[in-house]
Structure formats: structure tokens, C-alpha cells
Structure 1
Amino acid sequence: MRILLIEDEPGIARFLTQGLEEEGYAVDVADTGPTGLAKALARSYDLLLVDWMLPGLTGLEVCRQLRAGGHATPLIFLTAKDTVQDTIAGLQAGANDYIKKPFHFEELLERIRVQLRPRPASTEQFTVGPIRLDVATHQVFRGEEEVSLTQKEFALLEYLLRHKGTVCRRQSIIEQVWDIHFEYNTGVIDVYMNALRKKLRLSKEDECLHTIRGVGYVARD
């Protein structure tokens, strides 16, 4: 497994590189945003670890450019930024996870393992209202029209459709979709739900993703 670490602090880069290599990972390092982006585009990596505040190009912009170019490599932000708005911005840019500095190396390792865990093949399809989600092809359709979703938007929709007809509580959503198992502001869910509804063009007549105030959300026809 090869990891690209984009980190401009030499001490942190050395510490993480040594620890990851001791765990059996091959690690390439870049110390600026443009260099990291170039390396990520030049070869295939299994995972990207990206600092947010980088010289030349922020980690956020690196993530956005990779996702805009169709690169789906799992990406984890390493950052001292800790507001809800920062977390939302990182996830909306296409990050798969977000770990705040300072962090325990063991926690980082576990988050890496989660992202590298093999996804079993599936032929499952789920529908609600005019929406159809195909797990195997990772596609979503409104009628016959394909709708482009981010990885996290897709995961959120899949979770709701797998539990169609059942109210999904906010804490369960944040644990299962975001893999966050501690007290956390769940306001990020609302941002993603709003984005989903807009992308799926759900009107009042065909609304099928319902808000249960103070509780969570439910998918139902």
C-alpha cells in the first residue's frame, strides 16, 4: 500500500513517515500544495494524507482539484482547524475523513485502515420515489437521468435508502456515514441533506427524503 503524505512541517512529516513505514506502508512525501498535487496526478496512490495549510496551494484546493478531475483516491485531512465550518468545508471538498491536530498516531492508523478496507462487490439497488441507487456501479439516477454525487453524499443517501421507512437518528447517521463515534456537532448532516435534495431536484410533489424535526431523517415514498 502506497501513501502520499502532503505535509510542510518537516518534523511531523518525518514522524509520520517513520511510523507508517514501520507499519508496512510505502510513503512518498511532498512539502507544498503544488508538489503534492503533481505527485498525486503523476502516479496511483492507495491513500492521501493532506495537511490543510500548505504553501503554494492549500490542502483544501488540492482536494478540490483532484475530485474535479475524477480522482477518487481516499483522502484524509490532517489539520489544526477545528470549527464545524472547517470540517464541513473539508468534507464538501471531497475528503473522506478529517483528523484534528494534535492526534494519537494509533487513531490515524485506524482511520487509514478504515479507508483502505476492501469494499465487497454488490448488486444491490435501492429506490425511493423517483430515485434509484446502484451500489455496484456507484451510480444514482432520477428517472433515467444520472445524478452526480460526492462520495459522502452517495454514502448518506445509501444509508437512508438501506433503512427506508425507518427514521435514522442524527447520531446514528454521523456514526455510520462519517465514522465519528464521539460527541460531535451533527449540523454537517443538514448541509449534505440540503445538497442532496438540490441535486436530486426533489420538489414538494415527489419529496421522499423527509426531515423528522429534532430526531433525524427518513426515506419513504
Structure 2
Amino acid sequence: MDTAHRREWEERKILSRDKEKEGAGMKIYILEQEEGLAAMTAYGLETERESVETFREPDRLEEKAEQDTPDLIILYEGSGDAWAGEQLGSLKSGPAASVPVIVIAKEADEREIVRGLDGGADLFLHGPVSVVELYAYIHAVVRRIEGADAKSGELRAGSLRILPEHHQVFAGGQEIDLLPSEFILLEFLIRNEGCVMDNRQIAGELKKDGRGMSPGTVKIRINALRKKLPDGKNMIHTVRGVGYRFEVEK
């Protein structure tokens, strides 16, 4: 056994021991276009005491989700992004609309990742992903959602009123239409009001919280927020040579 495999094996032993302490695992559904990876992932997650079921047909998954809602769905994207986009849209408009979804893609550029996040994916990963790494990502997503539920009360920043639970933003009673990735970034900035961070630091913090967003996307979304939010340019400040700071005049 080489060093890398030994390290992964040791990590999995630790995770398994933690799982025994926690009790029963999560219910996870896996949807894949091309057979092979889902079976390996299912086996790996089942060793961590998760309950896993795999599907090749989206209709079957949605039918099962309507009868028995899972805690999380993993969507394996094949060689083309059309299939993944269609299935993600279908999942988020059906009985599994409230279930977090992780997309794992063989190939994906930044635009595709942004489309996936804006289409409702909670996390977009480049494959292949080891079971240990995926397991960590799964729990990061679950922690984020549980944390969001705990902090679901509205936020206020100047004229803005944010409802995290409903992904809605209002200014003076008028709702502002934001992309999901723009809402994620705005909520993060408001919760970290006064802190100065550059786009790489912001992307890193979002990734820790299970929300993948590249530094380039952070920069694009900040520019969009400045245009969409009333007085956005005076809320999101650029600290030259350092980064960005969200601050509202009291």
C-alpha cells in the first residue's frame, strides 16, 4: 500500500469511527448518465454507514424522492453538459426541489460551474473525487444548510432586507432579482460586514462552507451586485491593494 492510499485508508477509519458514534447515516440518491462511477461511490459511502441508492433514469429517482425524500442527491455529469443541466432543472422543480444536490463533472469550465450553481446545484465538483474527499464535501453542504436553517431569520443592511430561507432580497419593499450565486455572495458579505477580503479569500471561505465559487466568479458577481443593489457601489467598497469590504452607513 503506497503512502497516498495508506493516508486515505487511515482517514476512512477515522470517519468510520466518528460515524459509529453519530448513529445512522444519511439517505443519499445518486443519478448518473454513464454506468460505473456511481457504484463505486455508493460502495464507498455505504462503508461510512450511509444509505445509498443509485439511479440511471431521472424519472425513477423523482418518483422515489416523492415517496421517500433523501437527505442529498449526487448528480454525475457525463461527457456533455446538456444532460446534467436538464436533470438539475428537473430535480429542482420536482418533489426533490428542497434537497441539496452535488454535481460531479468529468469536464467543466468556469462558465459551466456558474451555470450549475445558478441552476440550483449546492456544490459543483470536478471529477474524479475520492470517497474521503466527497464525504467531507457532503458534510460541508449539510452543515451549511443546517446552519442556514438556524440563521434563517431575516438580515438587514441599510435599505436591504434579506430572507435567507427564501433566497429573497428587498430594497424599500421592492424585490431585487438576483442569481443564486449573487445571493450567496451578498449573504456572505452581509454576515461579514466590515471585514476586508480579496476575491481569493472570499472564494476560499465559500468553499469551506460547501459553496464552490472561483475567485474570478466572485469578482464578476461583486460587479453585478454593485449594479443591481440600490447604492450598491457605496455598500461594497474596494480597498485598493487589499480586497473588498461590505459596509453600510449607520
| TM-score bucket of the superposed structures, by smaller chain | 0.7 to 0.9
Contact 1:78 1:98 in 2 (8 A): yes
Residue number in structure 2 paired with 1:30? 55
1:10 to 11, 35, 53: 35
Residue number in structure 2 paired with 1:157? 186
Distance 1:11 1:137, change over 3 A: closer
2:86 to 61, 65, 89: 61
Identical columns (%): 29
Contact 1:121 1:136 in 2 (8 A): no
What are the Cα deviations for residues 88-133 of structure 1, in whole angstroms up to 9, with x where unaligned?
A: 2221212111221122111001001112223262376543332122
One-letter code aligned to 1:130? S
Task: Indicate whether 1:104 and 2:110 are aligned.
Answer: no
Residue number in structure 2 paired with 1:208? 235
Q: CA deviation at 1:211?
A: 4.4
Q: CA deviation at 1:202?
A: 2.5
Determine the C-alpha separation between the residues in 2 that align with 1:191 and 1:176.
Answer: 17
Equivalences, count: 216
Contact 1:153 1:196 in 2 (8 A): yes
Contact 1:33 1:54 in 2 (8 A): no
Contact 1:6 1:36 in 2 (8 A): yes
Determine the C-alpha separation between the residues in 1 that align with 2:190 and 2:117.
Answer: 21
* Mapping 1:1-221, distance limit 5 Å: 1-41=26-66, 43-53=68-78, 58-68=83-93, 71-117=97-143, 118-119=146-147, 121-122=150-151, 125-135=154-164, 139-147=168-176, 149=178, 152-179=181-208, 185-197=214-226, 201-203=228-230, 207-212=234-239, 215-221=242-248
**Which SS does the other structure have where 1:178 is aligned?**
helix
Q: CA deviation at 1:8?
A: 3.0
One-letter code aligned to 1:46? D
Determine the C-alpha separation between the residues in 1 that align with 2:59 and 2:183.
Answer: 29
Determine the C-alpha separation between the residues in 1 that align with 2:217 and 2:97.
Answer: 23
Determine the C-alpha separation between the residues in 1 that align with 2:233 and 2:156.
Answer: 13
In terms of Rg, which structure is larger? 2
Contact 2:118 2:180 in 1 (8 A): no
**Between 185-194 and 132-141, the greater mean CA deviation after superposition:** 132-141
**Which SS does the other structure have where 1:98 is aligned?**
strand
Q: CA deviation at 1:149?
A: 4.9
- Runs (5+) with no aligned partner, structure 1: none
Distance 1:205 1:188, change over 3 A: closer
Determine the C-alpha separation between the residues in 1 that align with 2:83 and 2:63.
Answer: 13
Q: CA deviation at 1:165?
A: 2.9
**Which SS does the other structure have where 2:78 is aligned?**
coil
Determine the C-alpha separation between the residues in 1 that align with 2:230 and 2:168.
Answer: 21
Determine the C-alpha separation between the residues in 1 that align with 2:63 and 2:86.
Answer: 13
TM-score (ref. length: structure 2):
0.71
Determine the C-alpha separation between the residues in 2 that align with 1:13 and 1:133.
Answer: 38
What are the Cα deviations for residues 18-55 of structure 1, in whole angstroms up to 9, with x where unaligned?
A: 11122111112111344445544554111010012389
